[in-house]
Structure 1
């Protein structure tokens, strides 16, 4: 997130009537298309266009620019010059702060939609006063936005990089680095070792932190590592991983786009080998 971001004290919209709006229908956001880039609309523009939202969240500011997130009630019939666009398609095509706030808004709107009722007593949840949370109207059970930690790791063996093809998208030929969610009670380093062992049957050494990335599409915090192959031959689990192999930097298969930390890890390998 932009270092100048100042999150709102709570998500209530009462005091917000200006700024930029992240108006989502499912996983697509309303933008104004210009020759140079995609631009976020203001609340008056959306209201004039007749767009109805069942959820509105005050998000915060970046350098004094206010942002709010809207979940639209239905797919809108947009005026000329406006469009619904997926976040991946907007990478590099809109203001960086707007793009980061779009990811933040999508994650929060999904969190609100997934927690409409209290998990303890079944009563409707409400936006908390003075806190970035949801609170039960009956038992006062309070929940905060969920972040699911996951590791992602580039495994090298000399001048080769391990890349694998996921079973989640069996028709795609894209290869990427190994990734997986952290289990309760598990350290990040233990998760690196376990995921590699489970998915491709290898052991690793020299696990080093690389960087991290918020991934709003799954509500994850991706924590990146590099590691060196220590032993074992590739043995596929046959479920999560359909193919895996070692690749030289000049012989890479189809790989993820530059929006992801997976691509950053692969680019790091290429740049250093």
Structure 2
């Protein structure tokens, strides 16, 4: 197993990102626990504590909890923090991704020996063969496509009826973000795009993605949905949108930026 320990005074104040099977422990009022290590009411194992960063000038720690969950009401998706604080959501995203890294890199994938966390960077090292691993990050592209007065939205087969978003897909090996954006749009809905513009990025811990957002203009082609991926897709008036992702998400922000741009140009 990965072994890692830090010098942590038990009475030092901090924020605790406690992770169990991809979910985050929050207090009864939906907050990240704050206090000392000894004040936590959940079981702790000091060798599984990792420093994540700082929030409001206080340290934040990851604690991976492997105990059997007896009350699901305290365990939540990291999405629940989006509406509270972007900084806390980013720390939660890091906590979930590091927890997954610890879980999936207990043994060397090259020789099968036990892995150990190094102390000068976030990496797992095999002392037997020297193989080193870093937390996996899967880049994903989001593309908001418009034509005069309209935006192209799609519903994934994984989403409920009536909920739409912009197109998304993972970057493939030896592919640029721009190439991935063009390819994914063509594969998922069969249209060509032009004037691709980068907007921004957002870490997305489901389980270890980095979302990269773009806007683009429709060039040509009829909508043909990719089987097993896209349930339905259509052009929607920017003044009359269906249910879309919240503004705290990168996809939701892109949709609202395009909507506002349209309203400003009217």
Q: Please give the range of the TM-score, normalised by the shorter of the 2 chains.
A: 0.7 to 0.9
Cα distance in 1 for partners of 2:78, 2:232 equals 28
Counterpart contact for 2:5–2:48, Cα < 8 Å = no
Residue aligned with 1:129, SS: coil
Matched residue, 2:80: 89
Residue aligned with 1:38, SS: coil
Q: What TM-score comes out, normalization by structure 2 length?
A: 0.87
2:50 aligned with 1:61, yes or no?
no
Residue aligned with 2:6, SS: coil
Matched residue, 2:67: 74
Q: 1:113-262 residue pairs with structure 2 within 5 A?
A: 113-169=103-159, 171-262=160-251
Q: What TM-score comes out, normalization by structure 1 length?
A: 0.85
Cα distance in 2 for partners of 1:222, 1:213 equals 5
Aligned partner (choices 8, 12, 31) of residue 38 of structure 1? 31
Counterpart contact for 2:96–2:207, Cα < 8 Å = no
Q: How many residues align?
A: 254
Residue aligned with 1:234, SS: coil
Q: 1:3-18 residue pairs with structure 2 within 5 A?
A: 12-17=4-9, 18=12
Residue aligned with 1:197, SS: helix
* Structure 1 vs Structure 2 CA RMSD: 2.1
Aligned partner (choices 21, 25, 29) of residue 26 of structure 1? 21
Cα distance in 2 for partners of 1:128, 1:21 equals 22
- In the TM superposition, what is the alpha-carbon distance from 1:132 to its structure 2 partner? 1.4
Cα distance in 2 for partners of 1:177, 1:70 equals 35
Name stretches of at least 5 consecutive residues in structure 1 with no aligned partner: 1-10
After TM superposition, what 4+ stretches of structure 1 lie above 6 angstroms from structure 2?
none
Cα distance in 2 for partners of 1:258, 1:110 equals 27
Cα distance in 2 for partners of 1:13, 1:221 equals 28
Cα distance in 2 for partners of 1:115, 1:168 equals 29
Residue aligned with 2:106, SS: coil
Deviations 1:158-182 (A, max 9, x none): 110000011234x443111011111
